Structure 1
Amino acid sequence: MGEHDRRLDPPVSPMTARTVEVTPRAGGLAYEAKWDGYRTMLFARPDAPRLQSRRGTDLGPGFPDLLRAAAVLGHEAVLDGELVVIEDGAVSFGRLQSRAQRTGPRAEAAAAAHPAHFIAFDLLELDGDLIMDRAYRERRALLEELFTRHDLQPPWALCPMTTDPDRAEEWLDPAWGRVGIEGMVVKGLGQPYRPGERGWRKLRARATAEAVVGAVTGPVTAPDMLLLGRYDDEGELRLVAQSAPVPTTLRRELGRLLVPAGPGHPWTDARFRSGWGSRDILRHRCVDPAQVVEFEADVAFDEGRWRHPVQARRVRADVGVPQVPRFGEQGA
């Protein structure tokens, strides 16, 4: 397919990244900040602007403010980026979700109260030219030129990028997670854009924290996953995280320590979903909330909860339940 054959039409599968555990260090690499929002393909068309989610759904009805911005960009273009809502200087994933569920007048009211931003990190098409086959360094240069030439202001934002791995590793500091940067994406400067291909690499910022085991899936004597809680200021045990499958050694240790809950456990009749946004309900068994575990989590934290499954690491026999942070506190 040549650059002038046709323009891109939705849906377009975005290029994605595989997770790595350490920062790649080699010549010819670029590092971008990874944002905690909705991955979005933006089609800037004066006649038919569109916002497409990673899975191909139309996000436009929830974000009429961005559709208007896309229609008057001044160029026909297709950009890859992250859709976010920023409040009090930080990304608000909860507000973003709320906006995505609204349409019509309610969407317009939400746009006025909580404006969205599009953080662009790649350019796939510009003024009728398909540029996906060009090297990343060329696409990035064109993207930067687009921002500079038109002095693009909010709702437009240009994703930070560096070729210095030491500088990029600053984005792995959990402090950046509190404003919405959850790690980095690593790309080859000479790489073309391949829709649907996992050709990039990503690292998430991670930190340790502590919580109380309030329930488990599977047998109490050998739990599969943990439902972790913290007490709020009223003394109520609130869910803060769901673990990934528990490592074998820790499973055995917890199996010796956990005690099935008696009457009156606050989660006896609770319904927990299997994941953030899922409709599947977990079959859980309540346990006496007396054991504290340390876990490792990324920085996707909203409304007092970690959105993604956490990795349970060890029992903290040296930490009593009253010493565990309160509900709403992110740190350990």
Structure 2
Amino acid sequence: MPLDPPLEPMLAADRGELPADGALAGGLRFEQKVDGFRAILFARPGRVLLHSRQGKDLTEAFPDLAAAAARLREPVVLDGELVVYHDGRLDFAQLQQRARRSARTATRAAAAHPAALICFDVLEHAGTPLLARPYHERRTLLEDLFARRILTPPFTLCPATADRELAREWLDPAWGAVGIEGVVAKGAEQPYRPGARGWLKIRSRSSAEALIAGTTGSRSAPASLLVARYDDTGRLRLVARTTPLPPAARRDLGARLTPAGAEHPWHGRHFSAGWGGRGELEVDLVRPELVAEFLADTANDAGRYRHPVRFQRLREDQLPDQVARFDS
């Protein structure tokens, strides 16, 4: 039976480094992890649907992709990443704006900022579901669809390799400049299991510094940090929130942070809980005088990291005015 939409995509679990060769069934295959929106495309005669990872219908917001899918000569269900290219790189902010469009505004946005679907899996072909087939068979079929020009722009084949050293090169933070966030590792013999975290993702990370400007939890034992940088106008701008701090870091920072009052640039400001949560964070403001080094991935929107960063240590060798300026 053909697959029924919506279909929950197969997911990947986080890893800090490339997994060992035998970590997944059949040996490892590596794909570039691109900075976009996960999407499943149902392209069948007389009906096209484009769904987000959560099952939201994005078809109307991306009429350019829907039109291209309607012209395909062979019916397929594709798994991939929605992206928008701008100035030689993937533009996540522009992609977000496009996802909110509808009707006439979506058509204008498509003309100004065309989207693409970077395809990394084919889940159904010519009415035959492929979920039970091993990854290497599905990948071969996907490559064949591009080789026979069934799939052409705005559809793009996601780069993949069995070469571990090439995968390691893709983890270089320099790839982040064009929108490559890291690597996804898959097993050559793995079937496609909707909703399961059966793949492994490794994000490219690099270190950076910012000022500690606030904490969550108690200031004497902070749960996480809000880190910031000054912009060229002297305004203190939020850069990121850290992941939960380990106990030793909580104790050390709690003894070093100095509470701030009305003189703090953020006095009276409210912070969203974010990351899928609702409401506001309870934040204790501290004097922005300590420099924190942290590890962050390459997903950065106008100077602010999209994902939580990992606190590494205090940089006692740096003064606050030596921290890089906020770069939007």
Contact 1:213 1:289 survives alignment (8 Å): yes
2:9 alignment partner in structure 1 = 14
2:72 partner letter? L
2:2 partner letter? R
Residues 127-156 of structure 1 deviation map (CA, whole Å, 9 limit, x = unaligned): 111112111111111101101111643211
- CA distance in structure 2 between the partners assigned to 1:262 and 1:19 by the alignment: 39
Residues 13-59 of structure 1 deviation map (CA, whole Å, 9 limit, x = unaligned): 11111122221242622111111111110111231111111111111
Q: Are 1:212 and 2:211 counterparts?
A: yes
- CA distance in structure 1 between the partners assigned to 2:207 and 2:312 by the alignment: 9
- CA distance in structure 2 between the partners assigned to 1:275 and 1:99 by the alignment: 21
Q: Secondary structure at 1:223's aligned position in 2?
A: strand
Q: Secondary structure at 1:62's aligned position in 2?
A: coil
Q: Secondary structure at 1:150's aligned position in 2?
A: coil
Identity fraction in percent? 53
1:165 alignment partner in structure 2 = 164
- CA distance in structure 1 between the partners assigned to 2:48 and 2:270 by the alignment: 40
**Equivalent in 18, 22, 46 of residue 23 of structure 1:** 18
Q: Displacement, 1:278?
A: 5.1
1:229 alignment partner in structure 2 = 228
Contact 2:270 2:280 survives alignment (8 Å): yes
Q: Are 1:187 and 2:186 counterparts?
A: yes
Residues 194-239 of structure 1 deviation map (CA, whole Å, 9 limit, x = unaligned): 1122111111111111000111112222111111100101011000
- CA distance in structure 1 between the partners assigned to 2:310 and 2:89 by the alignment: 25
Q: Displacement, 1:276?
A: 5.0
TM-score, scaled relative to structure 1: 0.94
Correspondence 1:1-332 to 2 at 5 A: 6-26=1-21, 28-150=27-149, 152-276=151-275, 279-328=278-327
Aligned residues between the structures = 324
TM-score, scaled relative to structure 2: 0.95
1:134 partner letter? R
Q: Evaluate the alpha carbon distance shift between residue 114 and residue 45 of structure 1 in structure 2; reply closer, same or farther with a 3 A threshold.
A: same
Pairwise CA RMSD: 1.4
Q: Secondary structure at 2:318's aligned position in 1?
A: coil
Contact 1:185 1:200 survives alignment (8 Å): yes
Q: Evaluate the alpha carbon distance shift between residue 196 and residue 203 of structure 1 in structure 2; reply closer, same or farther with a 3 A threshold.
A: same
1:22 partner letter? E
2:12 partner letter? A
- CA distance in structure 1 between the partners assigned to 2:8 and 2:232 by the alignment: 45
Residues 231-259 of structure 1 deviation map (CA, whole Å, 9 limit, x = unaligned): 10101100010111112111112112111
- CA distance in structure 2 between the partners assigned to 1:184 and 1:103 by the alignment: 32
Contact 1:25 1:165 survives alignment (8 Å): no
- CA distance in structure 2 between the partners assigned to 1:274 and 1:311 by the alignment: 17
Q: Secondary structure at 2:74's aligned position in 1?
A: coil
Q: Secondary structure at 2:60's aligned position in 1?
A: helix
Moved more, 273-282 or 145-154: 273-282
Structure 2: gaps of 5 or more residues? none
Contact 2:73 2:150 survives alignment (8 Å): no
Residues 275-311 of structure 1 deviation map (CA, whole Å, 9 limit, x = unaligned): 2565431111111111110011111111111011111
1:3 alignment partner in structure 2 = none
Q: Secondary structure at 2:4's aligned position in 1?
A: coil
Contact 2:227 2:240 survives alignment (8 Å): yes
2:17 partner letter? V
Q: Secondary structure at 2:6's aligned position in 1?
A: coil
Contact 2:44 2:76 survives alignment (8 Å): yes
Contact 1:275 1:308 survives alignment (8 Å): no
Contact 1:46 1:70 survives alignment (8 Å): no
Structure 1 segments of 4 or more deviating over 2 A?
24-28, 151-154, 275-280
- CA distance in structure 2 between the partners assigned to 1:109 and 1:272 by the alignment: 34
- CA distance in structure 2 between the partners assigned to 1:74 and 1:322 by the alignment: 60
